[in-house]
Chains A and B, each alone.
Chain A
């Protein structure tokens, strides 16, 4: 790993990271707040109609319990946008962006192997993604404490929630980086990465809203990050394993493919 490259990569992201990180904390704070303020109303609404009850089980989350609300928070489209800026945007542009800009030559004309370049960028982005997941989770926990409902969470399970959340977004990050090493231009890299994220999301949401299509959730990475299960002491290590494999396979792919790529002069 190259320290100068790592630091510069973080420097590029620092303003964005501060702004999006603050937004992430604020976003995390909102969920326990809404849960405390409106859970009873939601419960009454849910009892009034099976359809509304179904709609309240958006994704794998639920507005009726605090762990369910936290799950919902991690599956909300805005969370996708906040973390996706780094996981998908940052990942897809990391190397394809340098290639398209013509600056990859400058980096690779230094004594830096392609593997070292890839590993450094991967570590830099995974750290940023871990920070984002941590900030959102920290906002949720702080808000739960502020609202006096911390006892509804099994705090001992929080590290596993964080680890699973990190692996979920780590999988999208490493997939985007794998796309980034595969293309010379940012368009295809970004398109493939975004499609991967959205297909996973679609499968999870479709299965949650339409019981006949519930089987589709099994094929979504989002379905394997279940704070509600972890915080209820029903963590399934198979889910963690699936997320870990989904994170590691693109890394292995990139480590094999990137050094073998022909880097002709940018056209």
Chain B
């Protein structure tokens, strides 16, 4: 019981097929309360299918899932009572103004619009903009309305499907700051994206899906720590013996330039190259993009390819 309460989302072998096409296969994961969980994959990887199954828009072919301890197959209304959702590429009612849209959706949610004013201010939605009809809004402004309608009212869990789509870089950063505050308030965010840098920036843990299958599920920090870092150094005189440095590979010596990859701890390598002969050293930070590309470099899983 304790474990269930600590878990915001649990899926067990969740599978969704459309005829012979597998959109989601045996997805098993847990999202803890109070974390920002990144759900990462390219378009068509099954992210939206998973989200729509969690919200009851799609029915699982097999497996099970719970959201806030409610079964997705039988208690989807209760899930949606406690969960906010931002659909990918949100569409709104053109005939309503921004403020009418927010009021209407808040009324339907049954949640008081707590924090709306602050959210609108942070997302640069002043009253003059909110009074305008949605039909006059740009893609980015509609997305801002989507963000506000999802995060106002302090939902226990917010499921955001590609939330920065259409937002300009400034607004993206404002949105990331909002998410930081949401995390600080102990609320849970399930965040789907194909933008690696933002997942790296905001998420505590990340799941990487590929062709409907879970490829990795790790802390972002841990995932990055296990990545290979690219190293370049310039050396004066004879190249040092780096053969004993753990995790060092792909060593290439080209004149006074040495390049290599390093996986694991950096300290042994730094000790090995600490010398007056070292003229320059660059250790590129591990990036989520590398991890992501590594998972995607492999062949497609047979089941999905079939």
Contact = CB atoms under 8 A, between A and B. Distances in A.
A8 B78 CA distance: 23
B52 A110 contact: no
Given A12-B95, A111-B109, A265 B77 contact: no
Interface in B160-208: none
Contact of A110 (B80, B87, B88, B95): B80
B236 interface: no
A106 interface: yes
A2 interface: yes
A228 to B, nearest CB: 42
A109 B80 contact: yes
B278 interface: no
Interface of A: 2, 4-5, 8, 12, 101-103, 105-113, 260, 262-266
B58 A110 contact: no
B55 A106 contact: no
Contacts of A112: 77, 80, 108
Contacts of A265: 48-49, 52, 87-88
Given A4-B104, A105-B87, A263-B57, A110 B92 contact: no
A102 B58 contact: no
Contacts of A109: 55, 80, 83-85, 87
Interface of B: 18, 48-49, 52, 55-59, 76-78, 80-81, 83-85, 87-93, 95, 104-105, 107-110, 149
Contacts of B89: 102
A110 B11 CA distance: 22
B105 A110 contact: yes
What does DSSP make chain A's interface, helix, strand, loop or mixed? Answer: loop
Contacts of A264: 18, 49, 52, 57-58
A97 to B, nearest CB: 11
30 contacts: A4-B104, A4-B107, A4-B108, A5-B108, A8-B104, A12-B95, A102-B87, A102-B89, A102-B90, A105-B91, A106-B90, A106-B91, A106-B149, A108-B56, A109-B55, A109-B80, A109-B83, A110-B105, A110-B108, A110-B110, A111-B78, A111-B109, A112-B77, A112-B80, A112-B108, A262-B58, A263-B57, A264-B52, A265-B52, A266-B91
B74 to A, nearest CB: 11
Nearest to A262: B58
A263 B108 contact: no
A257 B92 CA distance: 26
B104 A103 contact: no
B170 to A, nearest CB: 26
B105 A106 contact: yes
B154 to A, nearest CB: 15
A102 B48 CA distance: 14
Given A4-B107, A103-B93, A262-B18, 12 more contacts: A4-B108, A12-B95, A105-B85, A105-B87, A106-B92, A107-B108, A108-B80, A110-B109, A111-B109, A263-B52, A264-B49, A265-B48
A111 B48 contact: no
Interface centre among B52, B57, B76 (most CB of A within 10 A): B57
A260 B109 CA distance: 23
Nearest to B88: A265
B96 to A, nearest CB: 9
B77 A111 contact: yes
A112 B104 CA distance: 13
Nearest to B92: A103
B58 to A, nearest CB: 5
A105 B57 contact: yes
B100 to A, nearest CB: 9
A109 B108 CA distance: 9
Nearest to B58: A262
B92 A111 contact: no
A139 B80 CA distance: 46
Contacts of B95: 12
Nearest to B81: A111
B91 A260 contact: no
A143 to B, nearest CB: 35
A90 to B, nearest CB: 15
Contacts of A103: 91-93
A262 B59 contact: yes
B148 to A, nearest CB: 13
Contacts of B90: 102, 106
Given A106-B105, A112-B77, A113-B77, A101 B52 contact: no
A113 B77 CA distance: 6
A115 to B, nearest CB: 10
Nearest to B57: A263
Contacts of A106: 87, 90-92, 105, 149
